[in-house]
């Protein structure tokens, strides 16, 4: 930025490359709005929520008022924002906490997106406006206890019985499961379904349907301000119109995952940014050997490396966002971003942890909370290993999963 | 019902402020411009009145600021205001309270109004005098430091904060109020608001459109800044050493009495 006397201003440690200038005024306004919401409503209390292992349900209406649920979808009460705006919102939310961002991702990119992309007009009208306004919470059930990275092996079945479907089996590690009003459940149908034999189909299972129950997963040390649950289906009878009519096969859930993964490309960098900023401030004020620890070369190198990766990651995220808005992104591009962002974000948080010394391990500072949260983010939505294999296949043309 | 909110665009409140010793004006280049934080309460008050009144009530933002202020005005539109007027002209540079109020009054009269809502003060010049001057130029009742406001037909009822309580007052419309923080936390712009703001109009206005009778800008200024000085450094706090709590309490009470605070 040029000042009035023509001198180029020194780089800002919090936005070294002035990436801000790459955003449109609207995009900056979205970012600033979500950032002030997170500063006002999340940061002051998140340590306590994490400590208590509680997701702050009371925030749902406020997040809905901001218009963040399904914000990148069009119509049905959704804002129709760009992919970049959606990414910026994810980043700011996750600068608060990965659990809060996860809630918004699952609601918008997994549950609402599934209905939006593959649902009937009736299903969209029934659920999307209620979900956009936060009056209904959604979850997305793909993973099972025995099938994580390899969902094609799933054992949950939807058998035809007269005009109905009967669901049996269970899903594991489902974000929002215990608080969801509607579960999008992926299950294997039987051959006489009329579609390809044994195809995976998506079903909308409302809370309270007979035979459907949930058990929350306790004793987590990561994503504690987020509900993670098991879904159990015992002879759950669903009417024929519970099926998502417009998709068949794993293509359906994978398309939803690609949406949510895109949000993580940005989101995880938010956690990293908070850790970097905290470490930078700490390094300038913490005195040891009569000097701020930021005066030691070793500390400076850590800060510089953190800043480099954070800025590079944000450039990649923005580039992918522009590609997505141009309709030119592929799942492999998203894998590039998810793998890089989460891996580097985790490394940044761990480095920040060392700079804070003992203070880094308490909930008084955000570091260890973000660090632990990112362990989940590294695993869900495709583990780092799986994304490596996706990219490996894209490079060599050889699939190495099996 | 037409509500006008006046907002000032000010340098980022967190940035260090510098005064140019030659012009004795605030240096505004290189510093991010934001909505005057006090004016967010004015917007909130106007939008609350609109929410209550429903259909047929509009909120227009009026600001006197450089052309580049457009981006900041969008935030007010994203919060829910219907449209905006941006009064911009090189001839307005260097306006004092008198000139600012005079020009703003002309712009507001031009767009029409039933109620004008101002903030209590800006965060840069902080005179807090503009609302009073504006009411005078508009020729309407001006109720400043309002913490609660209600509209009943063509009457406005308000509570005005004072040093030791509040006054219940009312006046006929059209009128002007300036509102305090107690009006309620300003809402966040919503995603839909931000998207919708793009389609709302920010009408440009220049001095030529206003055809004022008196000169404004630095030539028309009635005040002149003679000198600038740093505020005196804060005095050191007083430490009292006492034997017990009772004696300490007495020392505090004596101190407060001496300062005429109790
Ligand atoms: C907090 C949290 C929330 C979640 N929320 C949801 C949700 O809302 N909905 C949902 O459906 N799921 C959800 N998940 C599940 C998540 O998607 C799975 O955990 C993930 O897909 C990995 O599956 P897994 O845990 O069974 O690990 P596994 O698949 O058993 O993998 C274990 C390890 O083996 C590696 N591995 C597996 N296969 C290969 C291979 N071919 N080559 C090399 N390495 C391999 C993995 O990378 C990993 O390191 C959530 C998980 C967590 C932790
Ligand atoms: C260092 C310095 C010293 C100054 N000293 C003087 C001085 O002594 N005398 C003098 O007359 N001027 C002075 N000025 C000029 C001053 O900036 C203008 O008078 C200004 O436009 C109005 O005053 P204010 O910012 O104090 O508004 P305030 O009266 O503090 O603002 C109250 C409300 O008025 C409205 N408002 C104010 N300005 C605008 C605007 N431009 N557009 C729309 N609404 C607005 C807002 O709703 C605001 O909340 C000085 C400026 C500087 C930088």
Closest ligand (CA of A178): 1
**Nearest CA-CA distance, residue A285 and chain B, Å:** 20
User: A157 lies in a domain?
Assistant: yes
User: B63 lies in a domain?
Assistant: yes
User: B195 lies in a domain?
Assistant: yes
* Mean pLDDT over each residue of chain B, to the nearest integer: 93
Q: Is the bond leading into B174 cis (omega within 30 degrees of zero)? A: yes
pLDDT in tens, A126-171: 999 999 999 999 999 999 999 999 999 999 999 999 999 999 999 9
Chain B residue set in contact with A, beta carbons under 8 Å: 27, 29-30, 71, 74-75, 78, 187-195, 197-198
Per-residue model confidence (pLDDT) at position A6: 61
**Nearest-CA neighbor of A213 among A162, A274, A167?**
A167
SS3 of residue B199 by DSSP? coil
Q: What is the Cα–Cα distance from A368 to A357, expressed in whole angstroms?
A: 11
Per-residue model confidence (pLDDT) at position B31: 81
Using pLDDT thresholds of 50, 70 and 90, give the confidence band for residue B130: very high
Supply the residue whose CA is at minimum distance from atom 37 of ligand 1: A149
Flag whether pLDDT at A194 surpasses 80: no
In the reported structure, the alpha carbon of residue B259 is separated from the centroid of ligand 1 by a whole-number distance in angstroms of 67
Beta strand B9-11 with B33-35 is antiparallel
Interface probe for B, chosen from A7, A26, A80, A107 (most Cβ of B below 10 Å), is A26
Q: What is the Cα–Cα distance from B221 to B154, expressed in whole angstroms?
A: 36
A381 classed as catalytic = yes
Task: Give the mean model confidence (pLDDT) for residues A375-397.
Answer: 98
Are A216 and A265 in the same domain?
A: no
Supply the residue whose CA is at minimum distance from atom 48 of ligand 2: B119
Are A259 and A388 in the same domain?
A: yes
Lowest-confidence segment of A171-185, A221-235, B216-230 by average pLDDT: B216-230
User: B112 lies in a domain?
Assistant: yes
User: A6 lies in a domain?
Assistant: no
Per-residue model confidence (pLDDT) at position A197: 59
Residues of B in contact with A29 (CB under 8 A): 74-75, 78, 189, 194
Are A219 and A238 in the same domain?
A: yes
User: A313 lies in a domain?
Assistant: yes
User: A84 lies in a domain?
Assistant: yes
**Six token digits for residue A352:** 């920040």
Lowest-confidence segment of A220-224, A380-384, B246-250 by average pLDDT: B246-250
**Six token digits for residue B95:** 């306006």
Task: Give the mean model confidence (pLDDT) for residues B123-138.
Answer: 95
Q: How many domains does chain B have?
A: 1
User: Which one of A225, A248, A271 terminates a domain?
Assistant: A248
Q: How many domains does chain A have?
A: 3
Asked whether the beta carbons of residue B74 and residue A80 sit closer than 8 angstroms, the reply is no
SS3 of residue A44 by DSSP? coil
A127's CB contacts (< 8 A; 6+ apart) are: A112, A115, A119, A136, A138, A182, A204
DSSP string, A143-204: -BTTBSS-GGG---EEEEETTEEEEEEEEEEEETGGG-SEEEEEEEEPGGGSSSTT-EEEEE
Q: Is B96 in the pocket of ligand 2 (CB under 6 A)?
A: yes
Are A178 and A229 in the same domain?
A: yes
Using pLDDT thresholds of 50, 70 and 90, give the confidence band for residue B225: confident
**Nearest-CA neighbor of A201 among A191, A188, A211?**
A188
* Mean pLDDT over each residue of chain A, to the nearest integer: 96
User: Which one of A248, A275, A309 terminates a domain?
Assistant: A248
Using pLDDT thresholds of 50, 70 and 90, give the confidence band for residue B41: very high
Asked whether the beta carbons of residue A79 and residue B191 sit closer than 8 angstroms, the reply is yes
**Nearest-CA neighbor of A65 among B203, B238, B192?**
B192
Using pLDDT thresholds of 50, 70 and 90, give the confidence band for residue B237: confident
Are A284 and A365 in the same domain?
A: yes
B258's CB contacts (< 8 A; 6+ apart) are: none
Asked whether the beta carbons of residue A66 and residue B190 sit closer than 8 angstroms, the reply is yes
pLDDT in tens, A1-23: 445 556 688 999 999 999 999 99
Q: What is the Cα–Cα distance from B130 to A263, expressed in whole angstroms?
A: 46
ipTM above 0.90, yes or no: no
- For residue B51, count other CB atoms closer than 10 A to its CB: 11
Using pLDDT thresholds of 50, 70 and 90, give the confidence band for residue B28: confident
Q: Which residues pair with B146 in a beta bridge?
A: B160, B179
Q: What is the CATH number of the domain that holds B129?
A: 3.40.50.620
Q: Which residues pair with B178 in a beta bridge?
A: B118
Ligand 1, from A55, A378, A380: best to mutate by most atoms within 8 Å of Cβ? A380
Q: What is the Cα–Cα distance from A131 to B101, expressed in whole angstroms?
A: 47
- Cβ-Cβ pairs closer than 8 A, A with B, add up to 49
Flag whether pLDDT at B118 surpasses 70: yes
User: A256 lies in a domain?
Assistant: yes
B75's CB contacts (< 8 A; 6+ apart) are: A29, B35, B189, B197
Are A167 and A46 in the same domain?
A: no
The interaxial angle of helices A251-285 and A297-325, nearest 10 deg, is: 150
Asked whether the beta carbons of residue A30 and residue B194 sit closer than 8 angstroms, the reply is yes
A62's CB contacts (< 8 A; 6+ apart) are: A37, A41
User: A10 lies in a domain?
Assistant: no
Phi, psi of A26 (to 5 degrees): -60, -45
Are A266 and A153 in the same domain?
A: no
Whether A73 and chain B come into contact, CB under 8 Å, resolves to no
* Helical segments of A67-120, H only: 83-96, 98-105, 113-118
SS3 of residue A362 by DSSP? coil
Q: Is B101 in the pocket of ligand 2 (CB under 6 A)?
A: no
**Nearest CA-CA distance, residue B242 and chain A, Å:** 34
Are A174 and A278 in the same domain?
A: no
SS3 of residue B41 by DSSP? helix
User: B91 lies in a domain?
Assistant: yes
Per-residue model confidence (pLDDT) at position A192: 61
Q: What is the CATH number of the domain that holds A240?
A: 2.40.110.10
DSSP string, B162-193: ETTEEEEEEEESSEEEEE-GGG-PPPPPPHHH
Are A238 and A363 in the same domain?
A: no
**Six token digits for residue B96:** 């004092």
The b-or-e profile of A273-302 (16+ CB within 10 A means b, else e) is bbbbbbbbebbeebeeeeeebbeeeebeeb
State the DSSP H helix or E strand holding residue B210, giving kind and residue range, or none if neither. helix B207-210
**Nearest CA-CA distance, residue A67 and chain B, Å:** 5
Angle at CA B9, nearest 5°, toward B6 and B15?
Answer: 145
User: Which one of A113, A137, A161 terminates a domain?
Assistant: A137
Flag whether pLDDT at A278 surpasses 70: yes
Domain span at B25: 2-220
pLDDT in tens, B135-159: 999 999 999 999 999 999 899 999 9
Domain span at A373: 252-396
Are A234 and A317 in the same domain?
A: no
Are A389 and A268 in the same domain?
A: yes
In the reported structure, the alpha carbon of residue B144 is separated from the centroid of ligand 2 by a whole-number distance in angstroms of 16
User: A8 lies in a domain?
Assistant: no
Asked whether the beta carbons of residue B191 and residue A9 sit closer than 8 angstroms, the reply is no
SS3 of residue A280 by DSSP? helix
Whether A3 and chain B come into contact, CB under 8 Å, resolves to yes
Q: What is the pTM of this model?
A: 0.89
The interaxial angle of helices B97-111 and B130-138, nearest 10 deg, is: 50
CB A223 within 8 A of CB A98: yes
**Six token digits for residue A132:** 């956009």
pLDDT in tens, A44-71: 999 999 999 999 999 999 999 999 999 9
Flag whether pLDDT at B54 surpasses 90: no
Asked whether the beta carbons of residue B78 and residue A29 sit closer than 8 angstroms, the reply is yes
Are A238 and A292 in the same domain?
A: no
Q: What is the CATH number of the domain that holds A355?
A: 1.20.140.10
Flag whether pLDDT at A250 surpasses 90: yes
Using pLDDT thresholds of 50, 70 and 90, give the confidence band for residue B55: confident
pLDDT in tens, B58-95: 999 999 999 988 989 999 999 999 999 999 999 999 99
């Amino acid at each position: 930025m040029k000042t009035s006397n023509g001198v180029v201003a020194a780089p800002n440690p919090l936005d070294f490359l002035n990436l801000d200038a790459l955003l449109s005024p609207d995009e900056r306004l979205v970012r600033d709005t979500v950032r002030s919401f997170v500063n006002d409503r999340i940061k002051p209390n998140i340590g306590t929520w994490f400590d208590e292992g509680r997701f702050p349900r009371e925030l749902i209406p406020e997040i809905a008022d901001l218009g963040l649920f399904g914000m990148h979808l069009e119509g049905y009460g959704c804002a129709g924002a760009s992919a970049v705006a959606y990414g910026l919102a994810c980043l700011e939310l996750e600068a608060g906490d990965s659990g809060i961002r996860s809630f918004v991702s699952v609601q918008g990119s997994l549950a609402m997106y599934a209905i939006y992309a593959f649902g009937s007009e009736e299903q969209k009208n029934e659920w999307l406006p209620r979900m956009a306004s936060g009056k209904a919470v959604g979850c997305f059930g793909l993973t099972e206890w025995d099938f994580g990275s390899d969902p094609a092996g799933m054992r949950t079945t939807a058998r035809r019985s007269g005009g109905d479907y009967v669901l049996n089996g269970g899903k594991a590690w489902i974000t929002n499961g215990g608080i969801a009003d509607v579960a999008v459940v992926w299950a294997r149908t039987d051959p006489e379904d009329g579609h390809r034999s044994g195809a995976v189909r998506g079903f909308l299972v409302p809370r309270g349907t007979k035979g459907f129950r949930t058990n929350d997963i306790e004793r987590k040390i990561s994503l504690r301000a987020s509900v993670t649950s098991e879904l159990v289906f015992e002879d759950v009878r669903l009417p024929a119109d519970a099926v998502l009519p417009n998709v068949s096969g794993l293509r359906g859930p994978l398309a939803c995952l690609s949406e949510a993964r895109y949000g993580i490309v940005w989101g995880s960098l938010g956690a990293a940014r908070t850790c970097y900023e905290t470490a930078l401030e700490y390094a300038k004020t913490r005195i040891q050997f009569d000097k701020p620890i930021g005066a030691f070369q070793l500390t400076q190198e850590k800060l510089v490396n953190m800043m480099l990766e954070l800025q590079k990651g944000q450039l990649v995220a923005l580039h992918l966002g522009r590609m997505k808005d141009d309709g030119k992104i592929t799942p492999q591009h998203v894998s590039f971003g998810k793998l890089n962002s989460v891996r580097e974000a985790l490394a940044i948080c761990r480095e920040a942890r060392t700079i804070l010394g003992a203070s880094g391990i308490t909930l008084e500072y955000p570091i260890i909370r973000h660090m632990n949260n990112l362990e989940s983010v590294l695993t869900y939505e495709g583990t780092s290993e799986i994304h490596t294999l996706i990219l490996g296949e894209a490079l060599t043309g050889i699939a190495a999963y099996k | 019902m037409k509500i006008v909110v006046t907002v000032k665009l000010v340098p980022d409140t967190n940035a260090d402020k510098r005064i140019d010793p030659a012009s004795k004006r605030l240096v505004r280049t290189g510093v991010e411009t934001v909505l005057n934080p006090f004016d967010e309460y004015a917007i909130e008050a106007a939008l609350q009145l609109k929410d209550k009144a429903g259909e047929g009530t509009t909120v227009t933002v009026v600001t006197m600021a450089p052309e580049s202020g457009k981006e900041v005005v969008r935030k007010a539109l994203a919060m829910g205001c219907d449209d905006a007027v941006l009064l911009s002209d090189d001839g307005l540079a260097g306006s004092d309270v008198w000139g600012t109020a005079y020009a703003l009054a002309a712009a507001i009269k031009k767009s029409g109004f039933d109620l004008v809502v101002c903030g209590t003060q800006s965060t840069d010049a902080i005179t807090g005098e503009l609302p009073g001057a504006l009411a005078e130029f508009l020729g309407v009742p001006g109720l400043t430091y309002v913490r609660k406001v209600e509209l009943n037909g063509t009457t406005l009822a308000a509570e005005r904060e004072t040093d030791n309580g509040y006054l219940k007052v009312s006046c006929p419309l059209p009128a002007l109020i300036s509102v305090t923080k107690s009006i309620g936390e300003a809402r966040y712009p919503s995603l839909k608001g931000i998207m919708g703001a793009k389609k709302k109009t920010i009408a440009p206005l220049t001095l030529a459109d206003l055809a004022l009778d008196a000169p404004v800008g630095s030539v028309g200024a009635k005040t002149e800044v003679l000198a600038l000085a740093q505020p005196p450094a804060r005095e050191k706090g007083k430490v009292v050493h006492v034997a017990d709590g009772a004696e300490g309490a007495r020392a505090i009470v004596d101190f407060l009495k001496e300062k005429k605070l109790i």
